[in-house]
Structure 1
Amino acid sequence: MTTTSYTPKLITALREGYSATTFRADAIAGLTVAIVALPLAMALGIASGASPDKGLVTAVVAGFLISALGGSRVQVGGPTGAFVVVVFNVIAQHGYDGLLIATLLAGAILIVAGAARLGQMIKYIPHPVVTGFTAGIAVIIASSQVKDFLGLAINSVPADFLPKWQAYFGAISTIQWTTVAVGTGALAIIVGLRRYAPKLPGFLIAVVVSSVVVALLKLPVDTIGSRFPHLPAGLPMPSLPAFSLAKVNEVLPSAFTIAFLAGIEALLSAVVADGMAGTRHRSNQELIGQGIANVASALFGGLPATGAIARTATNIRSGARTPIAGMMHAAFLLIFVLFATDLMAYVPMAALAAILFMVAWGMSEYERFLALLRMPGTDRAVLLLTFGLTVLVDLTVAIGVGVTLASLLFMARMAEAVEVDAGVTNDPELDAEDMHQRDALPPGVEVFRINGPFFFGVAGELLDTLRRVGEPPKAIILRMRLVPLLDTSGVQALEKFVEQARIAGARVILSGVRPQPFSMLKRARLGRSSGKLTYAPDYAKAIAAAAKVVGEA
């Protein structure tokens, strides 16, 4: 572990020298991202079951710290759509204090994960799982906005997916066509600007235009002011939520889910940023920065936060050069929070619903989803199961089941790929020694070549191979030159193999054992000094050792 890997990119950028030209580029990028983030933060705050000011507080506090302390040069953080489902459920089940505790715990988990150098673990999350739960979240976000987009008269919308749609269809006669027109107009502005003028801030323009129209025409539609009449201005003072051991136990599973989502999305966003900007992030420091930012967000009464791919991409396209751009984005949002919070009251809820429809569409990654459906059956099963469980059951369950199923299927495929070979093979990738391993075999000696990682999925194969041998030999050579990995179950299977061979009067000789398997065997007291096994550096010496055993028998 090097000191550099735990140095925030801000410090690295400042050490390289920071000029007025660079500051100007960062400030312009920060302002551009703030314009994009302003309506988005409000919309995500409301969609999460909180209020728009909570989304803004998160974007200010967490957004500043993610850039200042993270391991990416151009990452922009804040509330994201990935958290909407989890946050909504936590607030519904445990209240807002429960969410703050869960966010604090999630921040601590991220800090520990970064300190434990788990930043590289992102590469081991199966792609169908990530795509499945992301698409599922997108469906849930879009579903949650139907009431506000259509102006349906429903006092309390059920949290679960199917009951929610039952409530929508039950209230379909209460559609307010004025609200639909406002929402459709906002959606048309966003889609039109994205197609014909993609550099303009479509979200903000849609919110401003719809707000002005509603205010001037005095349209009877629901707005932030009518929904949240007592929004506080400015940032609250930091404080700790009311802790209790029972509450911590209740929200701990949600805390792990928040930490998992924050870690995955932050590191995915950092990877995307590296590809766009030609930089290289520090994954472990990024997790630590994310953790500190989430702790601070909870102390200020905010929501969970992580790296936001869309805002990060906007930051890069706007010319950002250092983390100061992300810090400036938070500073510009703070100015709005301090001096212009009253303007939020005029924003129609239907316009925010239109924004979240677009967020959900972007999250769905439908092209990638369809591409995975064309993959082998196992990948399709993981994708559809994760997607279905996310929508119909629970995100935590979906991630757990998806990762578990993907891991089991992977191990099944690996087990099929591992060979315990006793005969001649015509594999052209093997050298002559492997292809003719039985040619020089002395009488009373048996040989098996193991090809591939020897883990619990294939551990039983070795014992089955021994049982298939007819007359017990005097010596058994296990060729392990092609075994890169041996796990605990493999060690136990090998230990049983040695014991059964001993009972049958045979000596086991290991040939060409590589460092990791040798280390595992040594830990299990099956090393050279154990006397239970004979080790040979190569196959020729293994044959010589076997001949000696047969001669002594």
Structure 2
Amino acid sequence: MAFDRLRADRARYLRMFEPKLLTVLREGYRFGDFRRDLVAGLTVAVVALPLAMALAIASGTGPEKGLHTAIIAGFLISMLSGSRVQIGGPTAAFIPVVFMVIQKFGYGGLILCTLLAGLMLIAAGLLRLGTLMKYMPQPVITGFTAGIAVSIFSSQVKDALGLQMDTVPAEFIPRWAAYARHIATAQPATIALAVLGLAVIVGLRRWKPNWPGFLIALLACSTAAAAFAMPVETIGSRFGGLPLSLPDFAIPHIPFERTLELLPSSFTIAFLAGVESLLSAVVADGMIGGRHRSNGELVAQGVANVGSALFGGLPATGAIARTATNIRSGGRSPVAGMLHAVFLLAFMLLLAPLMGYVPLAALAAVLLVVAWNMSEVEHFRNTLSAPIGDRIVLLLTFVLTALVDLTVAIQAGIVVAAFVFMFRMSESMEISAGIRPTDDDLAPQSDVRDDEARDDENQRARLPKGVEAFQISGPLFFGSSNRLDSLLDQFFEPPKVFILRMRLVPVIDASGVHALRNLARRCQRLGIVLVISGLQEQPNRVISNMQLQERDGELHFVSNFERAVRLAETILERQAH
């Protein structure tokens, strides 16, 4: 008996790391599925081609490093991923830390950092730490993401303006001081190409959003530079010709004696890879209605980073924008991501001579748009309307990321968020003499009297067919908000109206509002009308400040459970007619 239980536990443990590719093949993979994945893989490859080169150059390496990373790590991530549609490769989040590591320790130091980060990710997955990353406070994520966007923007000023300067300082303030000293050397031709690239990308996103704007911008700028013989720096003039093959499997010189110095940067790379890949997987789940394996995803990211390092590549992780592109293009299995890597390899082998003519100003334009998208200005502004503690965490993480160091920013943000949490918990604790309040103590339309009078069984029996209700008790904050993710999965058949009772939620933070927003979007996709009842003063104020607003037929707020049931009955009658 004990042996059977041990074997069952081991089987459950191993299933957490089973790649989704095996799941897809076991379910049955047909030619129609392959055709859709082929189209999606080609579409994502077209998007990833300019991005991979631009991200590598911004990180302080040659464009071929970005292509090698997208091919090798991208293939491994899709093959081993715990998500069906994850697309991996180099991302903008790594630019500041990679640039800093190369400047301080050389490229060998980056290889060691990537190897260590990969091993950390594998260990985190095997230790089942993937679920812990869901507890990352949203203001910390928003803060360091916006800070990275500012860092990316500042790193592209030289190439966008054509400044004549040998090196660009890694630190934020010295970098802008250097820009100011060399501003007189700006080249009009380079600026013109950067503006052209931005205009093409922005214009296509508005009028032809399905077209590959990044690639078309590179083609337009390269054509203009060649046609008018513009004196601008290109990939070829700075880096020489691109290689026509993948690098050999080899380990370059690695300064193992500096391992301890590199551990903080390795941890930062592992942290970013883990958080971004799991965020991407969560977004993908919402788009396809699936469920990823978080610990298996971490193991896949770890193996991919080790593989990338051993082929001389860069750190890699799941890319949210490319994953979304894959889904919108019809990709529904890991085969699409593997094909995306194959197409990138074909592009590199066939188009390497032509890539040397791409102006660096065009790649700068691509990254300026990436930085703007990454900044999530609207989300940042909404979080500034959150409670004061969330605002402090947001601004502290943002400023430290941009001005100091990403590692310091993450550590400080998490520590301050923990103190804010402890303060909130102490504030929300109530001491009672145990005396039940009288009717005169209750608000006229409160949700409390209704629940005092009836037990939950009687209330569920009163619900019309097609209506379900759940009640949340306690603070809805970054440590508990993720529990809303699986709320709808408990229904065998999705209801038509879902009542979420929040009369016992005294406090909500930015992560809680973010979770409610995601729940509302998921309900909308499933055709479920969400009704939230009984909001107390603080949650009602925070939700209103962060602009989670009522939408007729999708999301409603009511004062108590009685009104929620009556509204549900009205909605059902309306749907019946």
Whether these two folds match at TM > 0.5 is yes
Partner residue in 2 for 1:435:
none
1:431 Cα shift? 8.4
Describe the SS at the equivalent of 2:314: coil
1:181 aligns with 2:192: yes
1:204-219 counterparts in 2 under 5 A? Answer: 204-219=215-230
Residue 237 of structure 2 is aligned to residue 237 of structure 1:
no
How far apart, in 2, do the equivalents of 1:320 and 1:12 lie? 15
Aligned to 1:291: 302
CA contact (8 A) 2:242 2:355 kept: no
Q: Distance in 2 between matches of 1:310 and 1:280?
A: 19
Structure 1 equivalent of residue 573 of structure 2: none
What CA deviation, in whole Å up to 9, does each residue of 1:421-458 have, x standing for no partner? 567564969989xxxxxxxxxxxxxxxxxx999xxxxx
- Structure 1 residues 15 and 423 mapped into 2: Cα distance closer, same or farther (>3 Å)? closer
2:148 maps to which residue? 137
Give 1:245 shift.
4.1
- Matching residue of 2:444: none
Partner of 1:405: 416
* Residue range with higher mean Cα deviation, 298-307 or 153-162: 153-162
- How far did 1:244 drift? 4.8
Report what 1:375 is aligned to: 386
Q: CA shift at 1:341, angstroms?
A: 1.5
Whole-Å separation in 2 of the counterparts to 1:197 and 1:340: 25
Q: Which amino acid aligns with 2:59?
A: S
Deviation at 1:186, TM superposition (A): 0.8
Give yes or no for the alignment of 1:11 onto 2:7.
no
Alignment partners' CA distance in 2, 1:139 and 1:385: 14
For the Cα contact (< 8 Å) 1:234–1:339, is it kept in 2? no
Cα deviations by residue, 1:379-432 (Å, 9 ceiling, x for unpaired): 111000000000111000000000100011101111222345567564969989
- 2:351 and 2:210 map into 1 onto residues whose CA distance is 25
Matched, 1:246 2:261: no
The verdict on how the C-alpha distance between 1:187 and 1:431 changes in structure 2, with shifts beyond 3 A counting, is: closer
Q: Give the conservation status (yes or no) of the 8 Å contact 1:101–1:241.
A: no
Q: Does 1:260 align with 2:252?
A: no
- The question of whether the paired residues in 1 share the 8 Å contact of 2:56 and 2:65 is answered with yes
1:379-394 alignment to 2 at 5 Å? Answer: 379-394=390-405
Q: Distance in 1 between matches of 2:241 and 2:64?
A: 11
- For residues 338-378 of structure 1, what are the alpha-carbon distances to aligned partners after superposition, in whole Å with 9 as ceiling and x for unaligned? 23212221000000000000100110000000000111111
Cα distance in 2 for partners of 1:32, 1:230 equals: 26
| Counterpart pick for 1:39 among 40, 45, 50 | 50
Q: Structure 2 counterpart of 1:191, which letter?
A: V
- CA–CA distance in structure 2, aligned partners of residues 112 and 218 of structure 1: 53
C-alpha distance after superposition, 1:47-78 (max 9, x if no partner) = 01111000000000000000000100001000
Q: Distance in 2 between matches of 1:452 and 1:71?
A: 32
Structure 2, unmatched stretches of 5+, are 1-8, 439-447, 454-472, 476-577
2:111 matched residue in structure 1? 100
**Number of equivalences:** 436
Q: Secondary structure at the match of 1:346?
A: coil
Task: Give the TM-score normalised by the residue count of structure 2.
Answer: 0.73
Q: How do 1:259-338 and structure 2 match up within 5 A? A: 259-338=270-349
Tell me whether 211-220 or 356-365 shows the greater mean CA deviation.
211-220
Which stretch shifts more, 358-367 or 114-123?
114-123
8 Å contact from structure 1 (residues 262, 306) kept in 2: yes
Distance in 1 of aligned mates of 2:224 and 2:61: 26
**Secondary structure in 1 matching 2:16:** helix
One-letter amino acid matched to 2:297: E
Alignment of 1:532-543 (within 5 A): none
Deviations 1:18-49 (A, max 9, x none): 11111111011000000000000000000011
> TM (normalized to structure 1)?
0.76
1:81-104 CA deviation, whole Å, 9 max, x = no partner?
000001000111111010000000
CA contact (8 A) 2:241 2:353 kept: no
After superposing on structure 2, the runs of 4+ consecutive aligned residues of structure 1 that deviate more than 3 Å are: 241-245, 419-432
Which protein is bigger by CA-based radius of gyration?
A: 1
Task: Tell me which residue corresponds to 2:83.
Answer: 72
Tell me the distance in 2 between the aligned counterparts of 1:369 and 1:109. Answer: 30
Q: Quick one: which amino acid aligns to residue 190 of structure 1?
A: I
Amino acid of the structure 2 residue aligned with 1:84: I
Secondary structure of the residue aligned to 1:358 is helix
Distance across 2 between alignment mates of 1:39 and 1:73? 24
Partner Cα separation in structure 2 for residue 228 and residue 394 of structure 1: 28
| Structure-2 separation of matches of 1:124 and 1:206 | 39
> What is the deviation of 1:216?
2.3
User: Counterpart in 2 of 1:418?
Assistant: 429
Per-residue deviation, 1:209 = 1.4
Identity of aligned residues (%): 61
Q: How far does the alpha carbon of each residue in 1:525-549 deviate from its partner, in whole angstroms, 9 at most, with x for none?
A: xxxxxxxxxxxxxxxxxxxxxxxxx
- Secondary structure in structure 2 of the residue aligned to 1:100: helix
Aligned to 2:407: 396
Amino acid at match of 2:331: A
Aligned to 2:514: none
> Partner of 2:332: helix, strand, or coil?
coil
Distance 2:365 2:332 in 1: 32
Q: Check conservation: 2:38, 2:339, Cα contact below 8 A.
A: yes
* Closer/same/farther in 2, CA of residues 117 and 332 from structure 1, 3 Å limit: same
**Aligned position for 2:363:** 352
User: Matches of residues 420-499 of structure 1 in structure 2 within 5 Å?
Assistant: 421=432, 424=435, 426=437
Q: Deviations over 1:239-266 (max 9, x none)?
A: 1243454221121111110000000000
Give me the whole-angstrom Cα distance separating, in 2, the residues matched to 1:241 and 1:329: 27
Distance 2:30 2:126 in 1: 32
Aligned letter for 1:79?
A: P
Q: Specify which of 88, 98, 101 is matched with residue 99 of structure 2.
A: 88
Deviations 1:306-348 (A, max 9, x none): 0000000000000002100000000000112223212221000
Say yes or no: does 1:50 pair with 2:61. yes
Report Cα offsets for 1:499-543 as digits up to 9, x if no partner: xxxxxxxxxxxxxxxxxxxxxxxxxxxxxxxxxxxxxxxxxxxxx
Deviation at 1:232, TM superposition (A): 2.7
**Comparing 373-382 with 210-219, which one deviates more in the overlay?**
210-219
Counterpart CA distance in 2 for 1:426 and 1:326 is: 60
Shift in CA distance, 181/244, structure 1 to aligned 2, threshold 3 Å: closer
Q: Which amino acid aligns with 1:345?
A: G
Structure 1: gaps (5+ residues): 433-450, 454-553
Determine if the alignment matches structure 1 residue 168 to structure 2 residue 179.
yes
Residue 237 of structure 1, CA deviation: 0.7
